[in-house]
Structure 1
Amino acid sequence: MPAVHKVLVVGGGVAGTAAAIFLAEGGVEVRLVEQKPEVSTIGSGITLQGNALRVLRQLGVWEQVEDHGYGFDTLGLRAPDPAGTLIVEMPDARTGGRDLPATVGMPRPELARILIERAQGLGATLSFGTSLVSFEQDDDGVDVVLGDGTTDRYDLVIGADGLHSHVRSLMGIDVRPAATGMAIWRVFTPRPASITRTDLFYGGQSYIAGYCPTGRDSLYAYIVEDADAANFTLTGPERVAKMRELSTAYHGPWDDIRPLITDEREVNYTFFEAHTVEESWNHGRVVIIGDAAHSCPPTLAQGAAQSLEDAAVLAELLLSAGELSPELWASFRARRFDRAREVVEASVQLGQWLLEHNRDADVPGLMGRISARVGVPA
């Protein structure tokens, strides 16, 4: 018998929809609320490492992800020289197992659609345009008030509402993501035939320039540089011009991407941020997961994977335990806290080495250590 029978999930991102799927499939009554009015139809791409794919297979959506994404098993390193010279093409770690690709790139909105439709198909109730306003809990349940004015009582509330989590604030946890000093420009474009995997260019005018194929006809490209708040004031066309100008330092396949960075494209600019909630992720019958509990820069492409792992572990424990006990929460923390914190710290460290122009940094060692850690199921 599961530890819970009726659960409210706050947040319709990767962590929230995954938790809703697992619990609904296990026979739990699930309501998922998302403050956005609908599934976003815009956005960039997402890089899913093998350990993320392993959870997506558990969720029953791997075949759809495979159909709508772009899988590959190698990683290229290129020089920031006039030819974009390929230095090395290396096998990437297949952290989800030998029967899954090392990496899949796909459009973020497509992944969101797949997960939401899967949750609805299993009977989860989804409400868009509303979120959690307040809650009061006792030993037996949680009384909630939602933004649409409705009230209800649940056995458990799962806060999966992202970096700037309102649930986290309502729990009294005063932790916020901190900027790391780097920022990233992203653009979603058609995929030139020359691009069949991720290549990374280190150095040159910026710290990193890279791209990831996200489908037969799409990719997202990105450039990482020093954070500058003034860039948030740029208009859409100014952002396009800025990213095109930065891209002129890189060649090879970048010469095929550059003409596709046009005014009708949406260029996104965000700071790298990171945090880990050190205290318990649950306060009684309210728990946070995913970016609400921990976040990292995309230097290791582990953000979505760690969110999916949170949902998988939490759902496994809830469905296999007879009650919400201190032992359940201790087990959840034991399986998730150190692992997530290690990924966050390693992701930040990679960026810090770049900021410091540290040529002696053991990047292969760090990446190998994280790959070995996440290659073992959480």
Structure 2
Amino acid sequence: MNREKIESIATALVVGGGIGGMATAISLARRGVAVELIDLDPDWRVYGAGITITGPTLRAYAQLGLIDRIKAEGAVTTASRFRLFNGTVLRVMDEPVIEEGLPATGGIMRPVLHRIMQDAVRAENIPVRLGLTVDALDNVDGGVDVRFSDGSAARFDLVVGADSVFSRVRDLAFPHMGPAQPTGQGCWRISMRKAPELDMGEFYFGGANPCGITICGPDSMYMWMLTEHVERETYMTDAELFDGMQALLAGYGGNAGWIRDNMTPGDWINYRPLAAVLQPRAWSNGRIVLLGDAVHATTPHLASGAGMAVESAIVLAEELARAGVSPEQALTAYEDRRFERCRDVVETSIAIGNLQLAHGRPDQLAGLMEGALARLNGPY
């Protein structure tokens, strides 16, 4: 892969050590930028669910040079199965290979993917500072003066906010933006050993709550289930999560039923309400720019949140490397390339969720999903 050196900036601060932040740090460092990465979590962790990796996301990871490790430590397949909630098979959808040499689709446990990306960050000798965020950002004379939460200060040619849906960078530098908005749905997740007969990803429709299963390794899988979100004053206990997921799976057949009958209190179970937002333009302010969930937070309906963040990181580095273009022009070009693609993901995901809340027909839901995924197979 041709990687022209970035001449327009020499230094960059990436705020946020998640998927988007690490992809950005790697992409910039490989083009000659002296990058520093910071993350608020002192232990640089990620929670334990799996993640579905669609063809476009695999393509983006291939551009980062990480595809071989993802294939080795995750799972790949060539098709997905659509079922009614009772286990009846509706159809098997062949997943297209969108680029020669790439798997069609797959999955991996988030902590495993996080470790793979952390190793790539370390391989580029990128300094990483943990337990740290930013308290002030000032565009001054073609750079950004930064004051960190520990009281220290530094100056960078570029600051990238990839610090989650709760972005501190967005709060400091983008007053025209706001928080993500609740969608009315919540997502249950469980990670556990793989069902013996599970040979591809599955989607279940027609019941009160749609769900899906992704293979994440030789003996691991995770399942998600979408429900209407009901506000409560306290988080659910481990016992409530276990009992709640078992109850929600009553009447489900196939491998979803197998999960109900074989899950244990020791399996990782999580619930969270869903929220999404496509932030209004502009996505940059001087030499400060946003990326990933900080600016295009989506729901899991298209399994594309991580892919959009990695794509954005690659596009940002490509635009900064264009000869004869100022950093400000490059940031505008990055936004121009990303806005409509990210809008499609966010708005289609919300539309799918609304249709699920309205108990739309399985063929309608499958049509929305297939249409969006086909569009995402195109270039970015």
TM-score (norm 2): 0.93
Report the CA distance shift for 1:266/1:363 in structure 2 as closer, same or farther (over 3 A): closer
2:155 partner SS: strand
Q: d(CA) in 2 for partners of 1:266 and 1:363? A: 28
Of 296, 299, 308, the residue aligned with 2:298 is: 296
1:45 is aligned, of 47, 50, 59, to: 50
Q: What is the distance in 2 between the residues matched to 1:329 and 1:230?
A: 41
Residues 43-63 of structure 1 deviation map (CA, whole Å, 9 limit, x = unaligned): 100111111111111111111
Q: Is the 8 A contact 1:240 1:266 kept in 2?
A: no
Deviation at 1:4, TM superposition (A): 1.2
C-alpha separation between the residues in 1 aligned to 2:40 and 2:324?
32
| 1:135 positional shift | 1.4
1:237 Cα deviation (Å)?
Answer: 1.2
- 1:196 paired with 2:199, answer yes
**Which of 104, 107, 129 pairs up with 1:105?**
107
Q: Separation in 1 of the partners of 2:260 and 2:19?
A: 30
Closer/same/farther in 2, CA of residues 265 and 359 from structure 1, 3 Å limit: closer
User: How many residues in Structure 1 have an aligned counterpart in Structure 2?
Assistant: 374
Report what 1:36 is aligned to: 41
Q: After superposition, where does 1:273-288 map in structure 2 within 5 Å?
A: 273-288=275-290
Deviation digits for residues 15-52 of structure 1 (CA, Å, limit 9, x no counterpart): 10001001111111000001011232641001111111
Return 360-369 or 29-38, whichever deviates more.
360-369
Once the two structures are TM-superposed, the CA of residue 203 in structure 1 deviates from its matched residue by 2.4
- Give me the whole-angstrom Cα distance separating, in 2, the residues matched to 1:14 and 1:226: 28
1:288-328 deviation digits (Å, cap 9, x = unpaired): 00000111111111111111111010011112345534432
Cα distance change on mapping 1:71 and 1:25 into 2, 3 Å: same
Mapped partners of 1:54, 1:46: distance in 2 = 15
Alpha-carbon distance in structure 2 between the residues aligned to 1:25 and 1:184: 36
Q: Relative to structure 2, which stretch is displaced further, 1-10 or 33-42? A: 33-42
- Alpha-carbon RMSD: 1.8
Residue aligning to 2:3: none
1:232–1:269 CA contact under 8 A, matched in 2:
no
Given that 2:206 and 2:361 are in contact with CA atoms closer than 8 Å, whether structure 1 keeps it comes out as no
From the superposition, tell whether residues 101 and 258 of structure 1 become closer, same or farther in structure 2 (CA, over 3 Å): same
Structure 1 window deviating more from structure 2 (258-267 vs 132-141): it is 258-267
SS at match of 1:124: coil
- Distance in 1 between residues matched to 2:233 and 2:110, nearest whole Å: 23
Matches of 2:230 and 2:362, distance apart in 1: 27
Deviation string 1:157-196 (CA, Å, 9 cap, x unpaired) is: 0000011111100012431111111111101101122112
2:177 aligned residue: 174
Which of residues 323, 327, 332 is equivalent to 2:334? 332
Query: Structure 1: which 4+ aligned runs deviate by more than 4 Å?
Result: none
**Identity, % of aligned positions:** 33
Distance 1:129 1:260, change over 3 A: farther
When structure 1 is superposed on structure 2, of 159-168 and 365-374 the one drifting more is 365-374
Q: CA contact under 8 A between 2:188 and 2:225: conserved in structure 1?
A: yes
Contact 1:72 1:101 in 2 (8 A): yes
One of 6, 10, 17 as aligned partner of 2:11:
6
Q: Is the 8 A contact 2:205 2:211 kept in 1?
A: yes
- For normalisation by structure 1, the TM-score amounts to 0.94
For structure 2, list consecutive stretches of 5 or more residues without a partner in the other structure. Answer: 1-5
